[in-house]
């Protein structure tokens, strides 16, 4: 498939389909238009890059459905000067989208080979404000905190306390919470004060399990 075909499919998905499904944040849509999703999947999956569906990337992980990526990033209510922590780098696609919106993205991946591959891919594609760390994402990055926003691309049994504590005042955390294979809800946490957090349910989702000390 040619670059022209991918561009046409990208425009159809992001400029037509996603707004019809409720995504209206111009910064999010523009960022997704600028990121070539076909470069974040395997050669075998490239022809499906602009289907609004998750795709396998190996190690039992997936690149999330474009609608979910857009919805979660939109829910973070980001501004250009902010620093974002992502848990679950995967192929690096969501980190690339985030990098087009904010000042800096730190992203944690627990699979060493996925971390290495995404680091190389992001560097090759020129996303210089993204830093990939191989670590336990459920513990966050306390030495780099606080973060203006945290996004978690896997479902935990609850919101990891370490991630809550690494939010700046006014910071937003978006995470799926629920059962490994059953009902999961997307939760937005907003830190109002040192020990005051607001919790809001955003809808039902389905994610792979969040594995780590404060996960499954």
Q: Of the residues 64, 135, 158, 183, which is catalytic?
A: 64
In degrees, to the nearest 5, what angle opens at C-alpha 125 toward C-alphas 124 and 129?
Answer: 100
25: left (phi over 0), alpha (psi -120 to 50) or beta: beta
Q: Are 154 and 211 in contact (CB under 8 A)?
A: yes
Q: Are 15 and 31 in contact (CB under 8 A)?
A: no
Structure tokens at 47: 């022809």
Structure tokens at 138: 């459920």
Q: Which residues of 9-42 are buried (b: 16+ CB within 10 A; e: fewer)?
A: bbeebbeeebeeeebebeebbebbbebebbbbbe
Would residue 2 show up in a list of annotated catalytic residues for this protein? no
Q: Looking at the annotation, which residues are catalytic?
A: 64
């Amino acid at each position: 498939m040619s670059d022209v075909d991918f561009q046409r499919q990208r425009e159809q998905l992001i400029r037509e389909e996603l707004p019809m499904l409720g995504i209206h944040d111009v910064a999010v849509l523009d960022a997704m238009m600028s990121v070539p999703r076909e470069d974040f999947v395997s050669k075998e999956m490239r022809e499906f890059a602009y289907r609004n569906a998750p795709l396998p990337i190996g190690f039992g992980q997936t690149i999330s459905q474009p609608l979910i990526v857009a919805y979660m990033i939109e829910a973070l209510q980001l501004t250009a000067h902010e620093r974002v922590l992502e848990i679950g780098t995967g192929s690096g696609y969501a980190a690339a989208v985030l990098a087009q919106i904010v000042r800096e993205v730190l992203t944690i991946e627990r699979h060493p080979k996925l971390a290495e591959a995404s680091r190389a891919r992001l560097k090759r594609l020129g996303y210089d404000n993204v830093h990939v760390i191989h670590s336990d994402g459920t513990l966050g990055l306390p030495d780099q905190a606080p973060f203006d926003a945290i996004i978690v691309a896997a479902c935990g049994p609850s919101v990891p306390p370490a991630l809550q504590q690494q939010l700046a005042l006014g910071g937003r955390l978006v995470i799926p919470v629920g059962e490994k294979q059953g009902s999961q809800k997307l939760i937005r946490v907003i830190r109002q004060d040192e020990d005051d957090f607001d919790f809001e349910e955003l809808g039902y989702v389905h994610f792979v399990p969040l594995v780590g000390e404060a996960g499954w």
